[in-house]
Structure 1
Amino acid sequence: MFPERFSNLPEYAFPRLRTLLDSRPAGGDVVHMTIGEPKHAFPAFVPEVIAENMAGFGSYPPNDGSPQLQQAIGDWVTRRYGVTLDATKQVMPLNGTREGLYNIAMAVCPEEKNGQTPAILLPNPFYQVYMIAAMSVGSQPVFVPATRQNNYLPDYGALPEEVLNRTTAAYVCSPSNPQGAVADKAYWRELLALAEKYDFQIFADECYSELYRDTPPPGALEVAAEIGADPERVVIFQSLSKRSNLPGLRSGFVAGGVETMKRVRQLRAYSGAPLPLPLQRVAERVWSDETHVEENRALYQAKYNAADAVFDGVPGYKGPDAGFFLWLPVEDGEQAAVKLWTETGVRVLPGAYLSRDVDGDNPGQGYIRVAMVAPIDEMTPALITLRDCLYM
């Protein structure tokens, strides 16, 4: 009576972590560094905008987003990447970016390719919704290692011809979660050429793009426009959760070619849940303001420097280029998480919980993920405690 396609799923990362740690007493005051939930202040004008638009809760919201929100997003894309979109046809606000990352496969991935089961390529480690999206549309998720050896970005071009010939889509996260690696323009150009050769789409998860050390990460749409790629080749996903410290707003967007977005909007009409209108008004204002983003970015840049100082000299340490996670090398992620919890009360996520075994190898096995979301005066002592427990 129940579908087989999900029957072999492991427990999701955070319930799995609770199973690992909750039966063991904490070794000190509890410090949560597991979930990427920003703790910096969101823009001060948010409550005011909601209050001014409260009447909107009495109406069904526009399914594809208000014209004003569509335009605010389109204008942001132009300012950020130098790409001009038809906001009414190429942009759709999302009720949380995960909605789009899942539904894009439903909307555009075919049931077969070249007479075979289609493949959808994923980085390994990865944001878990990519895998579920692939499985839900009857595709084979192909896990491609993103390790230190390839700068934590998957080398899809190294896959066998047999896989590439039936590939319909490839997910890429840049800046990457969990490693904080950035795909440069050369990486995007090579991937676009590969997608053109084998006729697949690129699903670019760019939710961490506004948190970086010094240089803004290039975007997939930006590079696609520079080289004159087919506009349908790339679909991008963005979020206000990280950029603007608004994870509870559940607001992001998807943008791509006109034909792709026509299918995305059609699926939303049948099965989606648009953002309530007062929250769309908030999103309009937030996408139009960069001052709070610059202030937020400066806070994270200070955290990068603090982490670099704490872990200076630790073998294998590499600070993130962007995002807000540390991807710290350890002998075994689960053992390290247990030791840290039971001896100090600091709670982190084993890297293997974000990865999958492929031929007996899990690229996250020798890592822990540490979320640098707490204020720096709380984060830095916790990182020192972590270092002293695991590396001294």
Structure 2
Amino acid sequence: MNPNLSRLQSYPFEKLRALFEGLTAPAGLKPIRLSIGEPQHPTPPFIRQALADNLDGLSTYPTTQGTEALRGAIAGWLMRRYKLPAVDAATHVLPVNGSREALFAFAQCVVDGSRPGAKVISPNPFYQIYEGAALLAGAEPVFLNNTAAADHFGPNFDSLPESVWRDVQLVYVCSPGNPTGRVLGLDEWRDLFERSDRHGFVIAADECYSEIYFDEAAPPLGALEAAHRLGRGDFRNLVSFSSLSKRSNVPGMRSGFVAGDAAVLKAFLSYRTYHGCAMSPAVQAASVAAWSDEAHVQENRRLYREKFDRIEPLLAPWLGIQRPDAGFYFWACTPLPDTEFARRLQAEYNVTVLPGSFLAREAHGINPGADYVRIALVAEPGECLEAAERIAAFCQKL
């Protein structure tokens, strides 16, 4: 067996189950789960219909590269969304079965684990796929703490010495961030691009929350957009990862894409051809429909905006929360240790939130997720409001 399998940590939700062992929640309160970032808004009917209308495609093997129609729809969306003058659908875009599997597989393709000291940088707190991908690619994860003190949860690239940067082969970036909702600015992208040029590493930009934001006139800056604005129209050493799961409320379709550096994607396509992970033709057809429509995405954002508008005033006095730049999480500072807060909230009010320490690792002397909880506003507005009222009552009682 791969010896690095033994280095994988339990997933946060396994830790949560262990934390709640032996608890009996109040029978008179229905359970409300705000712990997992699983969209629960209804899937738009036209996407469901497109999927049903293309079931004949199940009789054929799909190609790993996907159909021209899907790559074209994605390229068109990228140009509209990020104001890019040109995206070559044949070389700059590759469909994937959701961003999660692609983020993991990408490290297996990019990292040369035979090189001594190979390193992969990840934000901290982080999406645990980054760590597992690095370990199983034979590299050492290096964590870049994102704290409130460090420019409001932004990355401090200078906090890592040049001796570390020299061995870095891959950098995972999550913007908007999970769990903080922080969006990287143009100067931060410039800094990271310059380091990539200097040390030769590849950047994997996880942007699965990019379409959940609050001002229709000010969408979050994207990685490819930043590259274009900084004169890097070839997207060298940069690949962006996106998904329909959050944008279009179709997590079960497992549909996303990677886009960016044509040379890197050519190698990744070769890897994926052997990996055997082509997208179902029916899912491809439904994805074309989804990427080609913005009305349902605007309605989705309206629902999230309504929830944040109503819930922020309820929780801010108790948890010091601020609206994130984007995404559907509150990253809330707790008056108790985060695990005790989550356990007692579950036991007394039947509301599930995720301890922040489960989303981070101790690095540079601290666990930057400690004493925070992640609150995912994914349920219907009424259910989220009820949960917020229970959380506020719990905090008031402390």
Shorter chain as normaliser: what TM range? over 0.9
Counterpart of 2:16 in structure 1 is 17
Shift of 1:54: 1.2
CA distance in 1, matches of 2:276, 2:331: 34
CA distance in 1, matches of 2:319, 2:42: 34
Q: 1:216 aligns with which of 213, 216, 219?
A: 219
Counterpart of 1:321 in structure 2 is 325
Pairing 1:265-344 to 2, within 5 Å after superposition? 265-314=269-318, 316-330=320-334, 331-344=336-349
**Unpaired runs of 5+ in structure 2?**
none
CA distance in 1, matches of 2:118, 2:210: 29
Kindly provide the amino acid, as one letter, of the partner of residue 50 in structure 1: L
**Unpaired runs of 5+ in structure 1?**
none
CA distance in 1, matches of 2:173, 2:48: 34
CA distance in 2, matches of 1:358, 1:48: 48
Shift of 1:296: 0.5
CA distance in 1, matches of 2:190, 2:212: 23
183-192 vs 333-342, which moves further? 183-192
Kindly provide the amino acid, as one letter, of the partner of residue 267 in structure 2: R
210-219 vs 312-321, which moves further? 312-321
Count matched residues.
389
Shift of 1:232: 2.2
284-293 vs 94-103, which moves further? 94-103
Kindly provide the amino acid, as one letter, of the partner of residue 224 in structure 1: A
Residues 327 and 187 of structure 1: is their aligned pair in 2 closer, same or farther, counting only changes over 3 Å? same
Deviations, residues 14-59 of structure 1 (Å, cap 9, x unaligned): 1111111142101332111111111112211122212221111111
Q: Tell me the TM-score normalized by structure 2.
A: 0.94
Counterpart of 2:143 in structure 1 is 143
Contact residue 157 and residue 191 of structure 1 kept, 8 A = no
CA distance in 2, matches of 1:353, 1:212: 25
Kindly provide the amino acid, as one letter, of the partner of residue 67 in structure 1: E
Deviations, residues 279-319 of structure 1 (Å, cap 9, x unaligned): 10000010000000011011111112122211233353222
Pairing 1:121-200 to 2, within 5 Å after superposition? 121-150=121-150, 151-200=152-201
CA distance in 2, matches of 1:253, 1:259: 16
Kindly provide the amino acid, as one letter, of the partner of residue 109 in structure 1: V
Q: 1:261 aligns with which of 253, 258, 265?
A: 265
Kindly provide the amino acid, as one letter, of the partner of residue 140 in structure 1: E
CA distance in 2, matches of 1:217, 1:297: 13
CA distance in 2, matches of 1:231, 1:268: 21
Shift of 1:360: 4.3
Does residue 246 of structure 1 match 2:250? Answer: yes
Counterpart of 2:95 in structure 1 is 93
Does residue 357 of structure 1 match 2:362? Answer: yes
Shift of 1:118: 1.3
CA distance in 2, matches of 1:52, 1:23: 47
Pairing 1:220-239 to 2, within 5 Å after superposition? 220-229=223-232, 231-239=235-243
Contact residue 304 and residue 320 of structure 1 kept, 8 A = no
**How well do the aligned residues superpose, as a CA RMSD in angstroms?**
1.5
Contact residue 110 and residue 170 of structure 2 kept, 8 A = no
Shift of 1:255: 0.7
Shift of 1:276: 0.7
Residues 13 and 251 of structure 1: is their aligned pair in 2 closer, same or farther, counting only changes over 3 Å? same
Kindly provide the amino acid, as one letter, of the partner of residue 108 in structure 2: M
Residues 372 and 315 of structure 1: is their aligned pair in 2 closer, same or farther, counting only changes over 3 Å? closer
Kindly provide the amino acid, as one letter, of the partner of residue 54 in structure 1: L
CA distance in 2, matches of 1:171, 1:136: 15
Shift of 1:336: 0.5
CA distance in 1, matches of 2:48, 2:173: 34
Shift of 1:169: 1.4
Shift of 1:12: 1.2
Shift of 1:391: 4.6
